[in-house]
């Protein structure tokens, strides 16, 4: 190991939502180990996948000094050799602390992770989940994923540690969002409501016509409201269909910003309405109260938006906890059962609360 101070390796794979709920744990590592040089180990981007790299979120925070990427499913000898070379490089570097902020793991996966990080990468202090994940077959409430990860860093952490966490935004992204909204004709006296119709899987995607109906109801009730449809480049078509239905008081911003640029737009919103998706977690991470429309594929409470004042809509039929990506037999009935009326009511409630507190723009 080079003699330039202590080092820590942080392993964090995952999509945008996975990365966002891990932020309190990563921030706590930076706070508890201020003298350590932090290195992130994460997945290499796959072109065309639509997936947001954890580095896109973590690099602007300034918490890390270095990053290494590996191939999750190496498809060639070159990629396999690159992964081996990376493991050897990490071992030569040496780390005083290794944090595995991996998604929920079964017993076999925990043993494999331990073998890799203790036996191959290095012999530093290894911080990871000690018990295999159990979600009670998805029937009963479980600890939030953000809390599970935070307890790897601080075993005594409670849910209160998650409530006030906010994602720091670069000033340049905030200014760019302001300029774009001004250019679209959003006046200072108007207020925004964000809508995110996309999601990473069919089982967590509420029907598009219901998002359209919710937006239309809000436009009718609030004459000075502007709707902004937000998502990744893969969501552009969905968002365009919504804006065509809503008319001139709506704007399709999908794919027009970086992750933190989208966060800067979301920060301007009085509320956000979306699926169980990375964009919903992003809105929550900048302090926006969310109306979250969740399927029942996961255990209740496991992936709720972080923070305060969110309203989660979820139906839990007898097939809850299925963990399916595509629901054929039941026709996504847990989502289909969520009607537009209660979602509109929740959005109006959150908007009224913001107005009463003088927080809406």
Does a structural domain hold residue 55? yes
Contacts with 62 (C-beta within 8 Å, 6 or more apart), sequence order: none
Comparing CA positions, the residue from 212, 224, 198 lying closest to residue 17 is: 198
The last residue of one of the domains, among 110, 131, 163, is 163
Does a structural domain hold residue 1? no
Q: Domain span at residue 257? A: 171-356
CATH of the domain at 307: 3.40.50.2000
CA 173, CA 262: separation in Å to the nearest integer? 9
CA distances from 122 to 87, 95, 116 (A): 9, 7, 9
- Residue 1 has a pLDDT of 41
pTM value is: 0.92
Same domain, 48 and 124: yes
CA 193, CA 120: separation in Å to the nearest integer? 49
Same domain, 134 and 242: no
Give residue-wise pLDDT tens across range 220-279: 999 999 999 999 999 999 999 999 999 999 999 999 999 999 999 999 999 999 999 999
CA distances from 343 to 83, 89, 272, 350 (A): 46, 51, 11, 11
Same domain, 140 and 187: no
Give residue-wise pLDDT tens across range 54-90: 999 999 999 999 999 999 888 899 999 999 999 999 9
Same domain, 196 and 254: yes
- Residue 134 has a pLDDT of 73
For residue 226, give both structure tokens: 């502007």
The last residue of one of the domains, among 124, 146, 163, is 163
Please give the tally of structural domains in the chain. 2
Name the CA radius of gyration of the chain, rounded: 21
Same domain, 278 and 348: yes
Same domain, 159 and 223: no
Same domain, 318 and 192: yes
- Residue 42 has a pLDDT of 95
Does a structural domain hold residue 361? no
């Amino acid at each position: 190991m080079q003699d330039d101070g202590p080092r820590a390796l942080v392993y964090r794979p995952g999509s945008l939502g996975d990365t966002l709920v891990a932020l309190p744990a990563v921030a706590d590592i930076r706070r508890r180990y201020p003298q350590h040089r932090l290195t992130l180990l994460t997945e290499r981007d796959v072109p065309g996948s639509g997936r947001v790299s954890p580095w896109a979120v973590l690099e602007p925070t300034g918490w890390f000094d270095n990053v290494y990427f590996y191939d999750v499913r190496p498809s060639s000898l070159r990629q396999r050799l690159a992964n081996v070379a990376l493991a050897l490089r990490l071992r030569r570097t040496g780390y005083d602390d290794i944090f595995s902020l991996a998604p929920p793991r079964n017993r076999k996966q925990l043993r494999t992770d331990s073998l890799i990080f203790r036996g191959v990468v290095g012999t530093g202090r290894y911080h990871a989940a000690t018990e295999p994940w159990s979600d009670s077959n998805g029937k009963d409430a479980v600890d939030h994923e953000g809390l599970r990860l935070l307890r790897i860093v601080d075993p005594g952490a409670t849910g209160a540690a998650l409530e006030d966490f906010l994602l720091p935004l670069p000033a340049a992204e905030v200014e760019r969002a302001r300029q774009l909204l001004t250019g679209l004709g959003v006046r200072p006296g108007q207020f925004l409501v964000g809508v995110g119709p996309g999601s990473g899987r069919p089982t967590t995607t509420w029907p598009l016509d219901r998002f359209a109906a919710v937006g239309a109801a809000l436009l009718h009730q609030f004459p000075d409201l502007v709707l902004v449809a937000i998502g990744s480049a893969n969501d552009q078509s969905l968002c365009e269909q919504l804006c065509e239905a809503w008319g001139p008081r709506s704007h399709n911003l999908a794919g027009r910003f970086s992750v933190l640029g989208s966060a800067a737009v979301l920060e301007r919103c009085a509320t956000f309405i979306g699926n169980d998706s990375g964009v919903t977690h992003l809105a929550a991470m900048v302090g926006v109260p969310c109306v979250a429309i969740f399927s029942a594929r996961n255990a209740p409470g496991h992936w709720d938006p972080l923070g305060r004042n969110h309203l989660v809509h979820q139906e839990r039929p007898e097939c809850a906890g299925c963990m399916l990506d595509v629901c054929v037999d039941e026709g996504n009935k847990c989502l289909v059962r969520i009607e537009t009326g209660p979602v509109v009511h929740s959005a109006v409630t959150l908007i009224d609360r913001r107005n009463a507190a003088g927080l809406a723009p």
